[in-house]
Amino acid sequence: MNAMLLTPDSRHTFATLLDARTLTDSDDTQPAIIYLETDQPPITVTRREFREQVRQHAAGLDALGLRAGDLLIIAHTQNLESIYAFWGALLLGAIPSMFPTLTDKLDPQVYMRGMAELARLSDVRAVLTTDAFAPELTPHVPCPVYGSEDLTTQAHREGRSAPPAARPSTDAVAFLQHSSGTTGLQKGVALSHRAVLNQLAHYSAALALSSDDVIVSWLPLYHDMGLIAGFLLPLVQGVPLVLMSPFDWVQHPALLFRAIHDYRGTLCWLPNFAYNHCARRIRARDLEGLSLTSMRQLINCSEPVQAASHALFLERFAPLGARPEMLGVSYAMAENTFAVTQTPPGQPARLDTIDRAALEHEGRAVPVPHDHPNAHTRVSCGPCIAGTQARVLDADGAPLPDRHVGEIAIQSDCLLSGYYRRPDIQPFREGWYLTGDRGYMADGEVYIVGRSKDLIINAGKNVYPQDIEAIVNTVTGVHAGRAVAFGVPDEREGTELIAVVAEVKTEDAEERRQISAAIRQAVARASTVTVSYVHLVGAKWLIKTSSGKIARAANREKWLAERSASRSGGHEPTPGG
């Protein structure tokens, strides 16, 4: 590994994020960021240009009255300006936090209410957003809201130059990552310079990162995967970052493959749905002449990993050079800065074939042959990275042996300092962070099976809604990635019944009846449970979090409210209907 990189061995030479190679390296003609937009020429930002833009934005923030220690929310559409503002805030010693702006996928009332609550609880000093959105947001929050023009003109008007670079303590809060959720946007994960640099050093070692790597990303910067892996990691390490808009990628997923081919990309992080999205949406003609052979790892992260998604991706893109050892996995969370685990480079993620009945009834991951009638495949998230350890706890907090399912707890030198200005939230138990995720350990690797709060107990079986949703998303007619499953208490049966809500395009009653039947049949064939309620809805019915994930609890409440309204109107739905 190049000695100039941030590594565990060179960690002592980095005190804060302002020691990033992109800000300090003397070879300033090297590209820092290559920014891609649909139907626009690429924008290559050299290290020198990056530094100059960061200084200009620091001057603008200083002119607006921002000072060291102030919390600044950056709620832009993803572009270079939001990147410069983030680093400008760091240069000033302020505390930046990336946040989504309002899009048509977010409920405006929920968004405004969450932003107002965030600003109040966290004492936000200012919000930076687009010129168009600033007037719309201003009446809802108790702090100034500045558009792009405010930032640039104020410094120019006052003739401000960049203030001297801040010299924060290594234990000072560097930035916040805000948890995604429709009711919990105010929960800011406070990360120190020390924790972030520890994470980047350990994770780079786990990836065998070198100066020859090129990171390609479309991920939003308000999510930990995009912010750390697809933003801070390349800029701190001084390796090129090829960045595109998530909106462009969703519409034209082949853009990612084109960028990998053109810039010889080597590392890329993707949520599980992206493997299916690429395999199903990219047209053959858009792949002509492209190659994936430069890639070292495409890393599955942020969502439950499905073996079928990897298999689909490999089958479709093997002609482009996709190989099993390219598809790695990382278990990550904002509270640990990012990665907890990582599949070692050069080897495929392990597959664990277990008895589904034993998992559901006994909470044990019992290995069985692939042809066993209850065979169920789980994908390993890999071993813990250096500096981080994980264990599995039972309901009383006692450690469990291998292959027993319980709550994952972690301990590391990358953990959050705390939830920003939320002393009421104490997520630690005897020095271990309780993740709320359920899983098991086997042969030194971590397997995740679901969230504790989402667990459905159906007729004595532990059912993980992610497994049901993965099945539903394979049914023809269901909008892939737009299905949610949850439990519904049933007093008569004395258990939880399983409900599924799925978005479909058709409004034809007969087609919907066939899709409903297909959902029930698919779940019955692929699992040991029965779906009691299937509710098919149109586009945009499902509520998503700010990071684009299905908000399971919020959708459950919405479904229950509609069900209650139907009952009061004399239209009580029945199980199976």
Q: Mean per-residue pLDDT for 161-169? A: 86
Which pLDDT tens digit goes with each residue over 213-251? 999 999 999 889 999 999 999 999 999 999 999 989 989
pLDDT at 568 over 80: no
At 2, the pLDDT band (50, 70, 90 cuts) reads: very low
In a shared domain, residues 447 and 466: no
According to the model, what pLDDT value does residue 424 have?
85
Lowest mean pLDDT among 117-126, 410-419, 560-569: 560-569
pLDDT at 184 over 60: no
According to the model, what pLDDT value does residue 181 have?
45
Domain-embedded: residue 5: no
**Structural domain ending residue among the three candidates 404, 421, 453:** 453
Percent of the chain past pLDDT 70, that is, above it, reads 94
Could you tell me which residue, 489 or 37, shows the higher pLDDT? Answer: 37
**Structural domain ending residue among the three candidates 172, 192, 212:** 192
In the 8-state DSSP scheme, what is residue 49?
H
According to the model, what pLDDT value does residue 455 have?
82
Contact at 8 Å (CB) between 485 and 527? Answer: no
**Cα(56)–Cα(152) distance, integer angstroms:** 8
pLDDT at 252 over 70: yes
Q: Which helix (H) or strand (E) holds 96?
A: strand 95-98
In a shared domain, residues 167 and 36: yes
Q: Which helix (H) or strand (E) holds 316?
A: helix 307-317
Q: Mean per-residue pLDDT for 445-461? A: 85
According to the model, what pLDDT value does residue 1 have?
36
In a shared domain, residues 77 and 180: yes
According to the model, what pLDDT value does residue 320 have?
98
Nearest-CA neighbor of 50 among 31, 69, 63? Answer: 31
Which pLDDT tens digit goes with each residue over 401-432? 999 999 999 999 999 999 998 888 888 888 89
Which pLDDT tens digit goes with each residue over 187-210? 899 999 999 999 999 999 999 999
Contact at 8 Å (CB) between 91 and 18? Answer: yes
pLDDT at 468 over 70: yes
Q: Mean per-residue pLDDT for 38-51? A: 95
Neighbours of 45 (CB within 10 A): 21
**Cα(226)–Cα(223) distance, integer angstroms:** 5
How many CA atoms lie less than 13 Å away from 351 in the CB half-sphere? 17
Amino acid at 101: T
Domain-embedded: residue 338: no
Contact at 8 Å (CB) between 246 and 296? Answer: no
Q: What is the CATH number of the domain that holds 531?
A: 3.30.300.30
Which pLDDT tens digit goes with each residue over 55-94? 999 999 999 999 999 999 999 887 899 999 999 999 999 9
At 114, the pLDDT band (50, 70, 90 cuts) reads: confident
According to the model, what pLDDT value does residue 538 have?
93
Q: Mean per-residue pLDDT for 137-142? A: 96
Domain-embedded: residue 60: yes
**Cα(27)–Cα(65) distance, integer angstroms:** 33
Q: Mean per-residue pLDDT for 274-281? A: 91
In a shared domain, residues 430 and 383: yes
According to the model, what pLDDT value does residue 569 have?
60
Output phi, psi for 434, to 5 deg.
Answer: -90, 115
Lowest mean pLDDT among 233-242, 269-278, 450-459: 450-459
According to the model, what pLDDT value does residue 577 have?
42
Domain-embedded: residue 273: no
In a shared domain, residues 24 and 98: yes
In a shared domain, residues 135 and 156: yes
Domain-embedded: residue 1: no
Nearest-CA neighbor of 559 among 577, 537, 531? Answer: 537
At 273, the pLDDT band (50, 70, 90 cuts) reads: confident
pLDDT at 524 over 70: yes
pLDDT at 185 over 50: no
According to the model, what pLDDT value does residue 493 have?
61
pLDDT at 470 over 70: yes
Q: Mean per-residue pLDDT for 467-475? A: 91
**Structural domain ending residue among the three candidates 192, 213, 236:** 192
Lowest mean pLDDT among 243-252, 433-442, 484-493, 552-561: 484-493
At 103, the pLDDT band (50, 70, 90 cuts) reads: confident
- Helix or strand or coil: residue 552? helix
Exposed, middle or buried: residue 146 (CB in 10 Å: 0-12, 13-18, 19+)?
A: buried
At 572, the pLDDT band (50, 70, 90 cuts) reads: very low
What is the model's pTM? 0.86
Contact at 8 Å (CB) between 450 and 468? Answer: no
In a shared domain, residues 481 and 378: no
Domain-embedded: residue 280: no
According to the model, what pLDDT value does residue 425 have?
84
Domain-embedded: residue 321: no
- Helix or strand or coil: residue 380? coil
pLDDT at 434 over 70: yes
Domain that holds residue 562: 456-568
According to the model, what pLDDT value does residue 197 have?
98
335 token code pair: 């509270």
pLDDT at 383 over 50: yes
According to the model, what pLDDT value does residue 480 have?
81
According to the model, what pLDDT value does residue 496 have?
82
Could you tell me which residue, 42 or 565, shows the higher pLDDT? Answer: 42
In a shared domain, residues 50 and 161: yes
Split into its structural domains, the chain has a count of 3
Domain-embedded: residue 20: yes
Residues 6+ apart with CB under 8 A from 188: 97, 118, 122, 176, 177, 178, 179, 419, 420, 421, 422
Q: What is the CATH number of the domain that holds 425?
A: 2.30.38.10
According to the model, what pLDDT value does residue 540 have?
87
pLDDT at 272 over 80: yes
According to the model, what pLDDT value does residue 59 have?
93
Which pLDDT tens digit goes with each residue over 315-341? 999 999 999 999 999 999 999 999 999
**Cα(380)–Cα(109) distance, integer angstroms:** 39
